[in-house]
A and B are shown apart, each in its own frame.
Chain A
Amino acid sequence: MADLSTNFVGIKSPNPYWLASAPPTDKEYNVVRAFKAGWGGVVWKTLGAEGPPIVNVNGPRYGAVWGADRRLLGLNNIELITDRPLEVNLREIKQVKRDWPDRAMVVSLMVPCDEESWKAILARVEETEADGVELNFGCPHGMSERGMGSAVGQVPDYIEMVTRWVKKHSRMPCIVKLTPNIADIRKPAEAAKRGGADAVSLINTINSITSVNLDDFSPEPMIDGKGAHGGYCGPAVKPIALNMVAEIARDPATAGLPISGIGGVSTWRDAAEFLALGAGSVQVCTAAMTYGFGIIKELNAGLSQYLDDKGMTLDQLQGRAVPNVTDWQYLNLNYVTKARIDQDLCIQCGRCFAACEDTSHQAISMSPDRKFEVIDSECVACNLCVNVCPVQDCITMEELPLGAVDERTGETVREYANWTSHPNNPMARAAE
């Protein structure tokens, strides 16, 4: 059994899985159930400033995208931050931390953009003896219209300023949660780092409309005939989150800044991918909301077995894929592959043919008796056929060895060379 215990910016937890700030972490009852199930930590549902509690809609707050068997692929929500009194939340946080000292207890915060508001709430949170705070600069709906959440997260200068206040008024580790609703995720990460953040966490939810009601002509979820954009999360957002995590992990300006990875983590494999791209902990929301807290057993057991099988420690996994994330211009243009169809596995559906013939490079032939073969002299190695083939490993990409001739170009396969030195690259010529 691999050791999964984690120390993330001084916050210790028995495993790297935290529940993200959201309904699963909104009160003591849920969080205690989560800890009993084995979750490593929680980021408590975002607290707002002292005052009259937040008001949520009383109609539906979720929209969804499903697969054919109603597998939930993406979820969107128009929920706001906690709608329970600050007092009650703080009391419960304190109690839970006392009862579960080995679990990570991070408190998510979102208060108006002035130093006094932040100073006031930080003092209250410190009293709970929570392990750290997470600044919610991500929420894309409801709070952003009031100058909070992603309204702050989309302006790097504000992020830096608020982070500075937090570090000034608190001894607690400070994690800045980033919104993906921005053109270049590195900018807010750099700002957080400049402001003194101990870590960033990402992603929060993505602005979205999951579907339109074609009878009432309103976005879903529909509240009395109208809908508003909501925040998208769940398996569908993972690719976007992975890229943003990788961008921060490999950018020299932010490299080394601890990252808590969030977005679509549903199985141990998703978690391992975030960790390999540089995350030091992962947070989970939709998967827990879909299947309940019991999934933590698979998350833990799966990661542990993977590490054992690889003979790796958690530390060795962390960031392991980062050096291999590069820019297009550095990819080896002399790496030549050709699609290969395993005739024994082929079930003759012809999807590769339709894809290549209709939409790609006419590089697959079809015989009258439905035999499908790759025409090397046409195959550009895009691997679309691999991706549309319903049979795993039926079509694979075979690398041509050095010295072999690519029948399509007539060129001999040579050593590594990339775009920066390619004869067709005007910049390369200019450099000569």
Chain B
Amino acid sequence: MSNSPTTPGIQPGRLSPDAYGAHFDDLYPAYDPHEAMVAADRCYFCHDAPCITACPTEIDIPLFIRQIQAGQPDAAGKTIMDQNIFGGTCARVCPTETLCEGACVREMAEGKPVEIGRLQRYATDSLMERPDHPYTRAASTGKHVAIVGAGPAGLSCAHRLAMHGHDVTVYEAQDKPGGLNEFGIAAYKMAGDFAAREVEWLLGIGGITIRTGQALGRDVSLDALRAEHDAVFLGTGLGDVNQLGIPGEDLDGVRDAVDFIAELRQTDDLSRLAIGRDVVVIGGGMTAVDAAVQSKLLGAERVSMVYRRDRAAMSASDHEIDHAATEGVTILTGATPVAIHGQGAVAEVEFAYTGGDETFRLKADQVFKAIGQKLVPVDGLATEGRKFAGVPLAGVWAGGDCTGGGEDLTVTAVAQGRDAAEAIHADLTGNGI
């Protein structure tokens, strides 16, 4: 193959074989022990620390950093996991600049927060390297809970329930557990097979059975789950995507960004993954940024990310947008797609300046739509907007992206799964609520 970034069409192998490894490796490599000591030393051990409040899972951040300072990163990892069993993923994927690090007093003082995310990775890596799983199960309660969806919400719920002595079966539609950790998050944030290793590690507690290829609504019904289990938790995420509803949307080369990213994440050899020369990504969220950046990393010559409102309204964080710009993505705002043109396959996308009539066209041989995900409805439960309208059924709980309230972040899904587990536990054991 002798393709290059300028080869027309949607083509694989635009880069030299070794470029792929470098492009999709850890964006922020792990600290070595000395770097970690220096980074940890910057923590002031604030009283009633603002970073703890800013973390949706309320990790005791000053405590875990102090444990790193004191030479026990694995103990620090345990402090993290006590609150957030996906501490490893969160260390890699949380938009820390708007969460813990955004609240760090050193951000206020110097514009340079303590690097909490990277320290969290150092600590959780240390803990996960230990051969033993750090949690044990309470005596069996004889209760059995069904969980639908093996994403962060479902598995966080499962782990906490298993810890309390309940038996858990997880019903997962895909052939692999992990949810968007496995299929969605950008590859350079979850380098290697971290998502799979983390699930493996989490299951080390025991008492959790995952049944893959089992979709609610297709292979099992909610009624059946309720009948066979003492409680049900729904962590199904957002399985459907919004459509543009403009002419040309079904032309070849027009694709959903989440699909593309899922394929990318599941491809062993990225040099075989085809990518356009001129890629246009429509949307302004994290998914749009990830699709655009990874297109660029696969060797697309020109990648434009086009959003209909202004930059401030983009749901991707400043940090993410800056990263996209650094990777060479062109960011256009205030332009709404009105039509996709081409003979059989896409050739151009036509945009109107938002709120006006004037239009312009961008050359494209590949278009990724990243304009939002929504729920796949479940029989018996009402939907409001793109999420569940609430879960009024006795013995049924829900959490993660499929429920309202969260910001569609891994960390909120983990928090909601954990809290639902505590509520289920209280319900099943009659310990009040």
Binding site for B on A (CB under 8 A): 67-70, 347-351, 353-354, 366, 370, 390-391
A390 to B43 Cα, complex, angstroms = 10
Least distance between B312 CB and chain A CB atoms (Å): 25
A391 to B105 Cα, complex, angstroms = 11
A87 to B39 Cα, complex, angstroms = 52
When A68-B69, A390-B44, A391-B109 are in contact, do A348 and B50 touch as well, CB less than 8 Å? yes
Q: Which residues of B contact A351 (CB under 8 A)?
A: 44-47
A-B contact count (CB 8 A): 38
Q: Which residues of A contact B108 (CB under 8 A)?
A: 347-348
A219 to B11 Cα, complex, angstroms = 65
Select which of B41, B45, B47, B49 is within 8 A of A68 by beta carbon.
Answer: B41
- A352 and chain B: residue at smallest CB distance: B47
Q: Which residues of A contact B130 (CB under 8 A)?
A: none
Select which of B34, B50, B69, B106 is within 8 A of A370 by beta carbon.
Answer: B50
When A349-B46, A350-B46, A354-B47 are in contact, do A68 and B40 touch as well, CB less than 8 Å? yes
| CB-defined A-B contacts under 8 Å, sample of 28 | A67-B41, A68-B37, A68-B41, A69-B37, A69-B38, A70-B34, A347-B105, A347-B106, A347-B108, A347-B109, A348-B46, A348-B105, A348-B108, A349-B105, A350-B46, A350-B47, A350-B48, A350-B49, A351-B44, A351-B45, A353-B47, A354-B47, A366-B47, A366-B48, A370-B50, A390-B44, A390-B109, A391-B109
A349 to B47 Cα, complex, angstroms = 6
- A68 and chain B: residue at smallest CB distance: B41
Q: Contact mask B210-226 → A, CB, 8 Å, 1/0?
A: 00000000000000000
A68 to B34 Cα, complex, angstroms = 8
Least distance between A374 CB and chain B CB atoms (Å): 15
Majority secondary structure, B binding face:
helix
- A389 and chain B: residue at smallest CB distance: B44
Closest 9 CB pairs of A and B: A350-B47, A68-B41, A354-B47, A347-B109, A347-B105, A349-B46, A349-B105, A349-B44, A68-B37
Q: Which residues of B contact A67 (CB under 8 A)?
A: 41
Q: Contact mask B25-37 → A, CB, 8 Å, 1/0?
A: 0000000001001
A351 to B109 Cα, complex, angstroms = 14
Q: Which residues of B contact A70 (CB under 8 A)?
A: 34
- Given contact pairs A348-B108, A350-B47, a sample of 14 additional A-B residue pairs in the complex whose CB atoms are under 8 Å apart: A68-B37, A68-B38, A68-B41, A69-B41, A347-B108, A348-B50, A349-B47, A349-B105, A350-B46, A351-B44, A351-B45, A354-B47, A366-B47, A390-B109
Q: Which residues of A contact B48 (CB under 8 A)?
A: 350, 366
Q: Which residues of A contact B37 (CB under 8 A)?
A: 68-69
Least distance between A394 CB and chain B CB atoms (Å): 10
Least distance between B101 CB and chain A CB atoms (Å): 14
Q: Which residues of B contact A68 (CB under 8 A)?
A: 37-38, 40-41, 69
A45 to B38 Cα, complex, angstroms = 36
Q: Which residues of A contact B50 (CB under 8 A)?
A: 348, 370
A390 to B47 Cα, complex, angstroms = 13
Q: Which residues of B contact A349 (CB under 8 A)?
A: 44, 46-47, 105
A351 to B49 Cα, complex, angstroms = 10
Least distance between A348 CB and chain B CB atoms (Å): 6
A391 to B44 Cα, complex, angstroms = 11
Q: Which residues of A contact B49 (CB under 8 A)?
A: 350
Least distance between A389 CB and chain B CB atoms (Å): 10
A248 to B49 Cα, complex, angstroms = 47
Q: Which residues of A contact B41 (CB under 8 A)?
A: 67-69
Q: Which of B178-237 contact A (CB under 8 A)?
A: none
- B69 and chain A: residue at smallest CB distance: A68
Least distance between A246 CB and chain B CB atoms (Å): 32
Q: Which of B34-92 contact A (CB under 8 A)?
A: 34, 37-38, 40-41, 44-50, 69
A350 to B51 Cα, complex, angstroms = 13
Q: Which of B325-367 contact A (CB under 8 A)?
A: none
- A357 and chain B: residue at smallest CB distance: B47
Least distance between B104 CB and chain A CB atoms (Å): 9
A141 to B405 Cα, complex, angstroms = 68
Least distance between B74 CB and chain A CB atoms (Å): 16
Q: Which residues of B contact A69 (CB under 8 A)?
A: 37-38, 41
A67 to B69 Cα, complex, angstroms = 10
Q: Contact mask B90-118 → A, CB, 8 Å, 1/0?
A: 00000000000000011011000000000
A353 to B108 Cα, complex, angstroms = 18
Q: Which residues of A contact B105 (CB under 8 A)?
A: 347-349
Least distance between A372 CB and chain B CB atoms (Å): 9
A354 to B45 Cα, complex, angstroms = 10
- A390 and chain B: residue at smallest CB distance: B44
- A391 and chain B: residue at smallest CB distance: B109
A391 to B108 Cα, complex, angstroms = 12
Q: Which residues of A contact B106 (CB under 8 A)?
A: 347
Least distance between B60 CB and chain A CB atoms (Å): 15
Least distance between A202 CB and chain B CB atoms (Å): 33
A113 to B74 Cα, complex, angstroms = 56
A366 to B47 Cα, complex, angstroms = 10
A370 to B105 Cα, complex, angstroms = 11
Q: Contact mask B144-184 → A, CB, 8 Å, 1/0?
A: 00000000000000000000000000000000000000000
Least distance between B272 CB and chain A CB atoms (Å): 45
A69 to B42 Cα, complex, angstroms = 11
Pick the most buried of A68, A69, A349, A390: most chain B CB atoms within 10 A of its CB.
Answer: A349
A390 to B109 Cα, complex, angstroms = 10
A348 to B104 Cα, complex, angstroms = 10
Least distance between B417 CB and chain A CB atoms (Å): 30
Least distance between A366 CB and chain B CB atoms (Å): 8
Least distance between A18 CB and chain B CB atoms (Å): 34
Q: Which residues of A contact B34 (CB under 8 A)?
A: 70
- A350 and chain B: residue at smallest CB distance: B47
A390 to B108 Cα, complex, angstroms = 13
Q: Which residues of A contact B47 (CB under 8 A)?
A: 349-351, 353-354, 366
Pick the most buried of B37, B41, B49, B105: most chain A CB atoms within 10 A of its CB.
Answer: B105
A310 to B108 Cα, complex, angstroms = 36
Q: Which residues of A contact B69 (CB under 8 A)?
A: 68
Q: Which residues of A contact B44 (CB under 8 A)?
A: 349, 351, 390
Least distance between B87 CB and chain A CB atoms (Å): 23
Pick the most buried of B46, B47, B48: most chain A CB atoms within 10 A of its CB.
Answer: B47
Least distance between A211 CB and chain B CB atoms (Å): 12
Least distance between B52 CB and chain A CB atoms (Å): 12
Q: Which residues of B contact A370 (CB under 8 A)?
A: 50
Least distance between B232 CB and chain A CB atoms (Å): 39
- B110 and chain A: residue at smallest CB distance: A347
A70 to B34 Cα, complex, angstroms = 9
A353 to B50 Cα, complex, angstroms = 14
A348 to B38 Cα, complex, angstroms = 22
A348 to B107 Cα, complex, angstroms = 11
A428 to B34 Cα, complex, angstroms = 58
Least distance between A34 CB and chain B CB atoms (Å): 31
Least distance between A299 CB and chain B CB atoms (Å): 27
Q: Which residues of B contact A391 (CB under 8 A)?
A: 109
A141 to B106 Cα, complex, angstroms = 45
A390 to B37 Cα, complex, angstroms = 18
A354 to B44 Cα, complex, angstroms = 12
Least distance between B221 CB and chain A CB atoms (Å): 48
- A348 and chain B: residue at smallest CB distance: B105
Least distance between B61 CB and chain A CB atoms (Å): 13
A68 to B48 Cα, complex, angstroms = 24
A354 to B34 Cα, complex, angstroms = 29
Pick the most buried of A68, A353, A370: most chain B CB atoms within 10 A of its CB.
Answer: A68
Least distance between A87 CB and chain B CB atoms (Å): 45
- B107 and chain A: residue at smallest CB distance: A347
Q: Which residues of A contact B109 (CB under 8 A)?
A: 347, 390-391
